[in-house]
């Protein structure tokens, strides 16, 4: 299902917004919502001003929901040091930032050589052109629509033209957005050309996550125009 249909609209709950007192139940709740994958945010208190969790939580996700695709977003200054530990823990996509302190021409092929999907992420202040040199060695581009580090921030609409620029440059690329996504902002991103949507606080705060995932999928699918 994952990565096979070409620019299908996908919805990914971000575990950062879960109740950490019931993490296993929260992972099962996200899986049974009908979402496409679990988004796991890894922070090092250096690349971003916050710490989150490490490979053990990725491994927990694999243990409690083995069939639920694990999408790992590395907000690390040196993601290259951690590729193998996250691969061993069960990551299936690894995203590394174009602003990180490593050579993406080396690390993206290394992610693929580990048998995983390789993705590039870029921060709000980074121009779209920064990812252009790597588009033929990656499977997905993540456009951050908040400054990374915390959940629950407001969507930065100034990022929308970058989505459109990446869509023009690579018409069949999977383009993901992450940060401040709800039914309203998801539609804006879909109109600009995004087809994958990470949502943390919007989805985990719902009593019925399944209805919210279905609504987000419906609205974003209607707004996304295939090029
Ligand atoms: C932010 C993370 C996001 C975050 C999104 O640094 O990369 O994935 O969990 O949370 P919301 O959807 O609440 O903005
Ligand atoms: Zn993220």
pLDDT of 73 higher than 90: yes
- For the record, the structure tokens of 171 come out as 């018409």
Q: How confident is the model at residue 3 (pLDDT cuts 50, 70, 90)?
A: low
Pairwise CA distance, residues 153 & 147, whole Å: 8
- Atom number, ligand 1, closest to the C-alpha of residue 73: 7
- For the record, the structure tokens of 82 come out as 């951690």
- Atom number, ligand 1, closest to the C-alpha of residue 152: 13
Q: What percent of the chain has pLDDT over 70?
A: 98
Residues 68-87 have a mean pLDDT of 98
- For the record, the structure tokens of 35 come out as 């979402």
Residues 193-210 have a mean pLDDT of 98
Atom 4 in ligand 1: residue holding the nearest Cα: 151
pLDDT tens-digit profile of 78-96?
A: 999 999 999 999 999 999 9
Q: How far is the CA of 218 from the centre of ligand 1 (A)?
A: 21
Return the closest-CA partner of residue 35 out of 223, 224, 200.
Answer: 200
- For the record, the structure tokens of 88 come out as 């061993």
3-state DSSP assignment of residue 139: coil
3-state DSSP assignment of residue 158: helix
Q: What is the pTM of this model?
A: 0.97
């Amino acid at each position: 299902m994952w990565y096979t249909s070409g620019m299908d609209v996908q919805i990914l709950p971000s575990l950062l917004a879960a109740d950490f007192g019931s993490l296993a139940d929260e992972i099962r709740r996200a899986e049974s919502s009908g979402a496409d994958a679990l988004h796991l945010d890894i922070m090092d208190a250096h690349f971003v001003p916050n710490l989150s969790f490490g490979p053990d939580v990725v491994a927990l996700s694999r243990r409690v929901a083995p069939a639920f695709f694990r999408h790992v977003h590395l907000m690390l200054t040196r993601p290259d040091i951690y590729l193998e530990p996250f691969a061993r823990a069960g990551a299936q996509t690894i995203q590394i930032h174009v602003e990180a302190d490593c050579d993406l021409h080396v690390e993206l092929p290394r992610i693929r050589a580990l048998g995983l999907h390789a993705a590039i992420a870029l921060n709000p202040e980074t121009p779209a052109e920064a990812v252009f040199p790597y588009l033929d060695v990656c499977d997905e581009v993540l456009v951050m629509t908040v400054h990374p580090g915390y959940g629950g921030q407001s969507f930065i609409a100034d990022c929308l033209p970058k989505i459109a620029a990446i869509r023009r440059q690579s018409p069949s690329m999977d383009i993901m957005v992450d940060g401040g996504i709800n039914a309203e902002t998801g539609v804006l991103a879909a109109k600009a050309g995004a087809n994958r949507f990470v949502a943390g606080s919007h989805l985990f705060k719902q009593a019925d996550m399944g209805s919210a995932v279905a609504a987000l999928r419906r609205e974003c699918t209607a707004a996304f125009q295939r090029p």
